[in-house]
Structure 1
């Protein structure tokens, strides 16, 4: 009986809080993918495997993605630090 009450308390949450937390998780995943894409793009630039047009396109795309993430963070009053998840002994999920 106590376990049922405990579970029901955890499930009862403010709908706005749930929406914000879910949005925070989605933005965390988007930010992680953006950072990975940026690192891969920099590796490809350093390798010389991209044309000037490809470099320009990647840079523009990454800048637009970063701007969109910043705008979305503003809607929910989130900072980049809010998106970072502590993975314990592995450290933080997102790089600075």
Structure 2
């Protein structure tokens, strides 16, 4: 389920940052920090893959938003037949390239779907 409308942006940012290891570990005996982390949790061995995962997650979210917008425009009759074909072909190619990039970096579409805790998943059902 995608994040609910009006969801607390701080919660979304915290969940996303946590998923990518960008927040320091929180210990039960420490107070909850509500500020920007002092340092990034990085591992030189995985930093490239983690960055690719973040970029591909954003690209996949945008791809799905574009797809929904295109379907809505088709349903409304806003596009000519030629425009519908071009949009459909473009979205198919983008989906194919996403699969190729995921394969190259050893990721699956499921890896790109961040769990935002009580807000649900970043990407809608059926994305993985």
TM-score by length of 2: 0.64
The reply to whether residue 34 of structure 1 matches residue 66 of structure 2 is no
TM-superposed deviation, 1:16: 3.3
Greater RCO between the two (CA within 8 Å, min separation 6)? 2
Tell me which protein shows more helix as a share of its residues: 1
> What displacement does 1:40 show?
0.3
Counterpart of 1:4?
A: none
Shift of 1:89: 1.6
Larger CA Rg, structure 1 vs 2:
1
Tell me how large the CA RMSD over aligned residues is: 1.7
Partner of 1:52: 81
Tell whether 2:89 aligns with 1:65. Answer: no
Structure 1 runs (4+) deviating above 4 angstroms are none
Paired residues in the alignment total 88
Residue 20 of structure 1 aligns with which residue?
49
* Partner residue, 1:76: 105
Instruction: Point out where structure 2 has 5 or more consecutive residues left out of the alignment.
Output: 1-37
CA–CA distance in structure 1, aligned partners of residues 73 and 105 of structure 2: 34
Unaligned residue ranges in structure 1 (runs of 5+)? 1-6
**Cα distance in structure 2, aligned partners of 1:16 and 1:40:** 38
The counterpart of 1:90, out of the listed 119, 122, 127, is: 119
When normalised by structure 1's length, the TM-score is: 0.85
